[in-house]
Amino acid sequence: MAKRAPRNAAERYARDVLAGRIMVGQRIRPAVERHERDLQNAAKRGLRFDPDKGQRVLTFFALLRHSKGEWAGQPFVLSP
């Protein structure tokens, strides 16, 4: 069965990490693998992943600005 296309940046990031297209630290890859397992098995464990709520957090961070130092006034730019 073919995998569906990623719906958002988080899914693209996870797929790229797992495929080796993005190099990450030794703790990130296991976290991404765990996240992928959680997405597949979450309901059995009573967990729920809500991408809309996650997007609300990302949207909020886009409103924030650095308040001090050389980046004062600049928006926070989150890494994938």
Over range 66-77, report the average pLDDT.
94
**pLDDT at site 75:** 93
2 found inside a domain: no
55 & 32 share domain = no
Cβ atoms of 22 and 13 closer than 8 Å = yes
12 & 44 share domain = yes
60 & 35 share domain = no
Task: Express as a percent the part of the chain with pLDDT over 70.
Answer: 92
- Record the tokens describing residue 4, joined without a space: 């569906």
Cβ atoms of 14 and 29 closer than 8 Å = no
**pLDDT at site 1:** 46
42 & 69 share domain = no
Number of structural domains found in the chain: 2
What is the tens place of the pLDDT at every residue in 25-61?
999 999 999 989 988 898 898 888 888 888 898 889 8
40 & 54 share domain = no
55 & 30 share domain = no
Cβ atoms of 11 and 29 closer than 8 Å = no
Q: Which residues constitute the domain of residue 67?
A: 50-80
